[in-house]
């Protein structure tokens, strides 16, 4: 899910978030993450930061702790099956054996390459 959907799912009001740059560079986001601001949802130290873009507000930082991040996972840019294929191919190119565990089958499927 995107940052806006994550904020909604976690019950975070964008008005309560700290203003953020409209399009932060990676270095700005990394610097914020290094500060470990409190999680926007639960107050625990955050592990990831992103920007919520809400029509009623300017861009705002959405900081999430590990548990809140895992409860609102990002959308993969490619299907998991393609990502697994890509990882296997990359590992094979450098002569590594890759053992990948996925949740597609309830964490039961072990894929070896």
For residues 27 and 31, give the distance between their C-alpha atoms in angstroms, rounded to a whole number. Answer: 6
Read off the pLDDT of residues 54-113 as tens digits, 9 standing for 90 and up.
888 899 999 999 999 999 988 777 787 788 888 889 989 999 887 777 665 544 444 444
pTM > 0.85: yes or no? no
Read off the pLDDT of residues 18-36 as tens digits, 9 standing for 90 and up.
999 989 999 999 999 999 9
For residues 30 and 103, give the distance between their C-alpha atoms in angstroms, rounded to a whole number. Answer: 28
What residues have CB less than 8 Å from 56, skipping those under 6 apart? Answer: 14, 15
Give the residue extent of every domain in the chain. Answer: 3-71, 80-112
């Amino acid at each position: 899910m995107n940052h806006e959907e994550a904020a909604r799912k976690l019950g975070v009001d964008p008005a309560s978030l700290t203003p953020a740059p409209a399009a932060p560079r990676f270095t700005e986001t990394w610097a914020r993450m290094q500060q470990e601001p409190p999680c926007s949802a639960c107050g625990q130290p955050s592990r990831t930061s992103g920007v919520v873009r809400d029509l009623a507000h300017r861009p705002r930082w959405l900081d999430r702790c590990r548990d809140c991040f895992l409860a609102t996972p990002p959308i993969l840019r490619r299907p998991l099956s393609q990502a697994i294929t890509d990882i296997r191919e990359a590992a094979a190119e450098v002569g590594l054996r890759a053992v990948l565990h996925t949740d597609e089958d309830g964490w039961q499927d072990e894929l070896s390459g």
